[in-house]
Amino acid sequence: MSEPVLEIRDLRKSFNALKATDGVSLDLKPGQIHALIGPNGAGKSTLIHQIAGTLRADSGTIRFLGRDIGGLDMAARAQLGLARSFQISSLAQEFSALRNVMLAVQAKKGSSFRFFRQVAGDKSLIEPAMAMLERVGLAARAHVPAAELSHGERRQLEIAIALALSPKAFLFDEPMAGMGPEGSKQLTRFLDGLRHEAPMLLVEHDMDAVFALADRVSVLVYGRIVATGTVDEIRSDPEVRRAYLGEAA
Amino acid sequence: MNRESAVNLLLALLLIGVPLIAAGMGEPFYVTLATRVVVLALAAAGLNLALGLGGLLSFGHVAFFGLGGYVAGILATHAFNAEPLFAGIPGTTFMPLIWLVAVAVAGLVALPIGAISLRTTGVYFIMITLAFAQMIYYFAISWPAYGGEDGLSIYVRNAFPGVNTAKPLPYFLVCLAVLMATLLLFRLVEGSRFGSALQAARQNGTRLAAVGIPPFKIRLAAFTLSAMITGLAGALYADLNRFVGPSMLSWQMSGELIVLIILGGKGRLFGPVAGAMIFVCLEYVLGGITERWQFFLGLILLVIVLFARGGLLGLLSGKARHV
């Protein structure tokens, strides 16, 4: 078995009496899409925030590419190659879609402490950024400010930004949220092709997407992982059916 | 040329034309008034980098303005009295050197102030920058060697090679050249990678961090650069008035710099210029009619904040463009 890219051990985070993350351990292996499912309030986003560095864990370790990243801030983790999307789109609203992606290209290429060369004519930023927009099918909307994009387009833009970082792992927090059935299907196909670029930890409520994509599924309930396995194992696990899938499964 | 560039050009022509005509008509007072516009615009242009591009509402930029002023005053005084500053280093009346020292001092002081203040946001950031400025204000008041509360006079305006700075028009042109060079720098920085990151930090710091650019470092660099420009303006202001005193460090002055930017148009290249023009005109015209002219300034500010968020430039040239 190959070494996990992302290795989480006994992670804990409490908000007062609420144990949002209660001893979570999880491995993300190369070439895999690892889905994280669970009912609302199970602590999925809190977990993503701790991995990305928005929140600091109370205890436990997060190792990324063999390195303990628990002490690093979000920017440093992103520089190591951890690209995330947000549950609620988080973009530079006044910038065009293109400039949002150019920012990621600029971050990837190195220093942002360049004060004179103008980005507006900088092909080394524009061309890779445009290529990413084309990949997610947003090229025609490249010059539209992020604030004026539709909800679905913003979700696509988040993905394009993550791609532009050419990361070592993706953290996607409900990328399908709020998308129509057609949009979800398209995005599912798209994400399917990404697993060979970098493994993906995917939080998603859309069960069709999860069952179509995931190599492994972990079920989070009240901050604990109650089951981990392949899609088939999870589907047939009686405890999971009771706790989460309910009648629907 | 888009509409905003046309308005900018018009403002620049006005700024150059009025003093030239006034000088031609033998009215040096108006040249001095225009110099005041230029120097205040320069100070506000510095703040505009932090506030307009970076969204950092520093209420303490007057600290750097005052420091720049004191650098000019102290160096000139030592040169005038032929006393060394310390360790045998003499003072100077050579403007370019004074500017260099003013910029360096402002930057060196801004770095730690920014490093502490930028750990906070919102109202705390405003208050902590104000607190630092007040500390420097009281320090200046209680330091008798350089005039304390009475301030420090510069007996002869400092010198610039090849220019008779004692006359209003040549000094105006020196200040104008500095302002134009600074605005060019502002435009370059705005469109650079650093400028992109800075504007992204204003719009959404989390997004910036998520692509791997630390917002804190970007903001700190902007805060420092911004302070350096405002410090330079302070040195010019001291030479304009041939006086520097604690009033150059007062928090009211900080407020005025912010007011200038809001009047003119936050984050816009010529916003500080437009703002300084309005401010100095009101101060002169209304100030001649009533001592309570700031009441009317308040009214105008109210109207702008309520109905024209882009300031005068927003009103004249429409919505800001973004690539």
pLDDT beyond 80 at A246: no
pLDDT of residue B29: 94
> How far is Cα B70 from Cα B41, in angstroms, rounded to an integer?
19
Specify if B209 maps to a domain: yes
pLDDT beyond 70 at B284: yes
pLDDT beyond 60 at B275: yes
Model confidence over A3-40: pLDDT tens digits?
899 999 999 999 988 899 999 999 999 999 999 998 88
Strand, coil or helix: B267: coil
Is B319 within 8 Å of chain A by CB? no
- Give the pair of three-digit tokens for residue A174: 């409900």
- For chain A, give every domain's residue range: 6-81+167-248
pLDDT beyond 60 at A247: no
Specify if B322 maps to a domain: no
pLDDT of residue B322: 47
Q: Give Rg (Cα) of chain A.
A: 18
For residue B192, which residues of chain A lie inside 8 Å, CB to CB? 114-119
Specify if B22 maps to a domain: yes
> How far is Cα A153 from Cα A158, in angstroms, rounded to an integer?
9
Tell which CATH classification among 3.30.300.30, 3.40.50.300, 3.30.56.10, 3.30.70.260 matches the domain A6-81+167-248: 3.40.50.300
ipTM: 0.91
Q: How many CB atoms lie within 10 A of CB B304?
A: 22
Of B195, B206, B212, the CB nearest to A107: B212
Which range, B56-65, B84-93, B302-311, is most confident?
A: B56-65
Q: Which of A104, A97, A167, A176 is nearest to A133 (CA)?
A: A97
- B117 neighbors B125 (Cβ within 8 angstroms): yes
Window from A41-45, B75-79, B278-282 with minimum mean pLDDT: A41-45
Model confidence over B16-34: pLDDT tens digits?
999 999 999 999 999 999 9
Backbone CA torsion sign across B199, B200, B206, B212: negative
Report the number of distinct structural domains present in chain B.
1
| Domain of residue B92, CATH code | 1.10.3470
Specify if B227 maps to a domain: yes
Of B191, B199, B211, the CB nearest to A107: B211
> How far is Cα A77 from Cα A71, in angstroms, rounded to an integer?
10
Buried b (16+ CB within 10 A) or exposed e, A168-180: bbbbbbbbbbebe
CA angle B5, B9, B13 (to 5 degrees): 170
- Confidence category of residue A249, pLDDT binned at 50, 70, 90: very low
Range of the domain at B52: 3-317
For residue A52, which residues of chain B lie inside 8 Å, CB to CB? 210
pLDDT of residue B294: 85
The average confidence (pLDDT) of chain B is 93
> How far is Cα A113 from Cα A125, in angstroms, rounded to an integer?
15
> How far is Cα B247 from Cα B258, in angstroms, rounded to an integer?
16
Specify if B323 maps to a domain: no
Top-confidence residue, A209 or B41: B41
For residue B205, which residues of chain A lie inside 8 Å, CB to CB? none
Q: Which of B185, B207, B226, B229 to mutate to test the interface with A (most CBs of A within 10 A)?
A: B207
B275's CB contacts (< 8 A; 6+ apart) are B41, B44, B259, B260, B261, B262, B263, B264, B265, B311, B312
- B95 neighbors B73 (Cβ within 8 angstroms): no
- Give the pair of three-digit tokens for residue A24: 């979570």
pLDDT of residue B296: 87
**β strands within A29-138, DSSP E:** 33-37, 59-64, 67-68, 82-85
pTM above threshold 0.90 = yes
Specify if B120 maps to a domain: yes
DSSP for B163-174 reads B-TTSHHHHHHH
pLDDT of residue B320: 59
> Within 13 A of B300's CA, how many CA atoms are on the CB side?
19
